[in-house]
Amino acid sequence: MRQLIAAAVQISCTDEVENNLDKLENRVREAARRGAGLVVLQELFEGVYFCMDEDISHNSRALTLEGHKTIARMAALARETGVVLPVSLFERDGSRLYNTLVMIDADGKVLGRYRKSHIPNSPGYSEKLYFADGDTGFRVFETAAGRIGAGICWDQWFPEAARAMVLMGAEVLIYPTAIGSEPSFRGWDSRDHWQRVMQGHAGANLTPVIAANRVGVEKGEANEIVFYGSSFIADHTGAKLAEADRVSDSVITAALDLDEIAAARRSWGVFRDRRPDLYGVLLEPTPERLLAKNEA
């Protein structure tokens, strides 16, 4: 039996980087005291979610990964507490900027990076202004906590990404996230839809999912977003094992038996009965009838 206690952390953020890191560190230590071997942190936790505005001065936030102080601090924390820590950062690589996840193993070793593949663009979430399309392909990391498939926020809406990572050997899927209210659709609450999509990935792939969102009200120059938290851990059937509330800095944990889940995944038949010969349409461009129209 390989039992993993998985955790997700959600906090509210300001633009005081060290204060945000202090809050996260305290929560990671709490998760470790509760036995966690994997602690998933939210997307772009160093500061406010700057993508709510279209202002290229925010590009100065991007840093190279070499010599990155946050990576060094999180690596030391992972080594001290013995937990696997995925770290979400704004990466600069020459002239290219990426929304990047760095996977840190339980001994503090950096295992590699994943660059966000799907980049959204809508009022309040203007990420295409800041981030290049990820060029790493989907990644599965061999960690002390098991084989972890990592997506980032908008990636979580694409079933192809989840299935690809499980086919690559992922035993757990994680999604650091920043999602809340929609400035262009006042009163629309996507929380339940957001959760159900990832619960579907878990159930369809018989693979647990961990999503860590942020909380709090963040105000930009033109937009304001209320991040709704609700971080959760779903088991391999899609059932929620643990869930945070919508407003509080929180740590949630859940126990996963990776061997038992692997046996269920092998026996259920959804991988045995796949028909890749029929899936060619997935490689074609999206039909025009499914694309939104911008009407004058």
Cα distance from N-terminal residue to C-terminal residue, the chain: 59
pLDDT score of 296: 37
What are the sequence ranges of the domains in the chain? 3-290
pLDDT score of 105: 98
The average confidence (pLDDT) of the chain is: 96
Q: Give the active site residues.
A: 43, 116, 153
Among residues 72, 249, 43, 256, the alpha carbon closest in space to that of 148 is found at 256
- pLDDT of 192 above 70: yes
Backbone angles phi, psi at 263, to 5 degrees: -65, -40
In which residue are the tokens 């809050």 written? 23
Q: How far apart are CA 17 and CA 124, in angstroms?
A: 22
Mean pLDDT of 269-291: 94
pLDDT score of 293: 66
pLDDT score of 222: 85
Q: Which CATH architecture describes the domain 3-290? A: 4-Layer Sandwich (3.60)
Q: Regarding beta strands 215-219 and 172-176, do their DSSP bridges make them parallel or antiparallel, or are they unpaired?
A: unpaired
Take residue 47 and report the two structure tokens written for it. 């500061």
- pLDDT of 292 above 80: no
Q: How far apart are CA 174 and CA 37, in angstroms?
A: 14
Q: Using 50, 70 and 90 to split pLDDT, how confident is the model at 294?
A: low
pLDDT score of 186: 86
- pLDDT of 295 above 50: no
Cα separations in angstroms, 157 against 50, 151, 153: 21, 10, 8
What residues pair up with 90 in beta bridges, in sequence order?
Answer: 99
- pLDDT of 146 above 60: yes
- For 96-119, write each residue's pLDDT tens digit: 999 999 999 999 999 999 999 999
Measured over the CA atoms of residue 82, residue 84, residue 89 and residue 91, the dihedral's sign is: positive
pLDDT score of 215: 98
CB 85 within 8 A of CB 77: yes
Cα separations in angstroms, 147 against 69, 96, 169, 239, 244: 26, 29, 7, 21, 24
- pLDDT of 197 above 90: yes
- For 39-72, write each residue's pLDDT tens digit: 999 999 999 999 999 999 999 999 999 999 999 9
Take residue 162 and report the two structure tokens written for it. 């989840």
- pTM: predicted TM-score of the whole model, two decimal places: 0.96
Among residues 208, 210, 198, 205, the alpha carbon closest in space to that of 266 is found at 205
- pLDDT of 259 above 80: yes
Contacts of residue 288, Cβ cutoff 8 Å, sequence gap at least 6: none
Mean pLDDT of 82-96: 98
- CB-count exposure of residue 12 (10 Å: 0-12, 13-18, 19+): middle
